[in-house]
Structure formats: C-alpha cells, structure tokens
C-alpha cells in the first residue's frame, strides 16, 4: 500500500486540512513554503492518465477549495498548483496528487526557465501531435 493510501486509511498520521467523500488534503511534510498542501483522490490512481474524468473533476474542485482556504485563512495572495506526472517528471509517490504551494512576496521560489523554439521546431511538434 502506498504512503498516501496509508494516510487516507488512517494508518499514518497527517495534518489534514480538507476532506470530502472523494478527496483528502493534508500538509506536505517537506514543504516548499509554509502551508504547502497535497490534494489526493481517496482512490488510488497512479497518474493523471489513470483517473476517470469524473473523479478528476471532483479532485479539481477540492484543489480549488483548498486554494481558496489558503487565501482566506492563511493570508496568502497567490499559490502555485503543480502535479508531477510520473517519476521522470519528479513524482515521488505513485499516487496522483496536486501540490498547492502558497506564495508570499520575496519567498525566493523560482519557476522553471523558458526557452525559445529553434527554427522549425514548433512546426515539427505540431505536425507530430496533430498527425
């Protein structure tokens, strides 16, 4: 059983901040910023492709509620939502989860760097994706 399933079942403790019939939200034990929260479906889905659309809808409603809760009760003015999909993308626990990371002025968190497409690169990608 994965660590998030153990948290959901109550076998492991957590700092729960939101729960409904299908989802659970709890503080990350290694937060990027104070209030960093994980929102998970109660059913085990390994990644974004495996969760049914209706379950994903419920999960995103919970993400929205937790974001609003952090703004209202914790006083943050913004937050990042992140989902690392599969190990290569940084997913450490094989249970679908969304990170909600509160942001404050001067917190030092940097987003990933952007780059320009090389000549013809975007066109090649479009052809491949739309073929």
Active site residues: 97
Instruction: List CB contacts of 63: < 8 A, sequence separation 6 or more.
Output: 39, 81, 98, 100
Number of H helices, E strands in the chain: 3, 5
CA–chain centroid gap for 69, Å, is: 16
Under a CB-based contact definition with an 8 Å cutoff, are residues 46 and 95 in contact?
yes
Taken in order 105, 111, 31, 84, the sign of the CA dihedral is positive
The pair of three-digit structure tokens given for residue 44, joined into one six-digit string: 């085990």
């Amino acid at each position: 059983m994965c660590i998030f399933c153990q948290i959901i079942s109550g076998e492991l403790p957590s700092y729960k901040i939101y729960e409904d019939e299908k989802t659970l939200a709890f503080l990350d034990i290694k937060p990027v910023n104070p209030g960093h929260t994980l929102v998970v479906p109660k059913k085990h889905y390994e990644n974004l492709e495996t969760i049914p659309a209706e379950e994903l809808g419920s999960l995103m409603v919970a993400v929205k509620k937790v974001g609003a809760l952090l703004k209202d009760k914790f006083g943050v003015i913004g937050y990042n939502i992140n989902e690392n999909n599969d190990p290569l993308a940084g997913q450490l626990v094989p249970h679908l989860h969304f990170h909600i990371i509160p942001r404050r002025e001067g917190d030092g968190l940097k987003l990933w760097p952007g780059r320009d497409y090389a000549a013809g690169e975007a066109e090649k990608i479009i052809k491949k994706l739309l073929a």
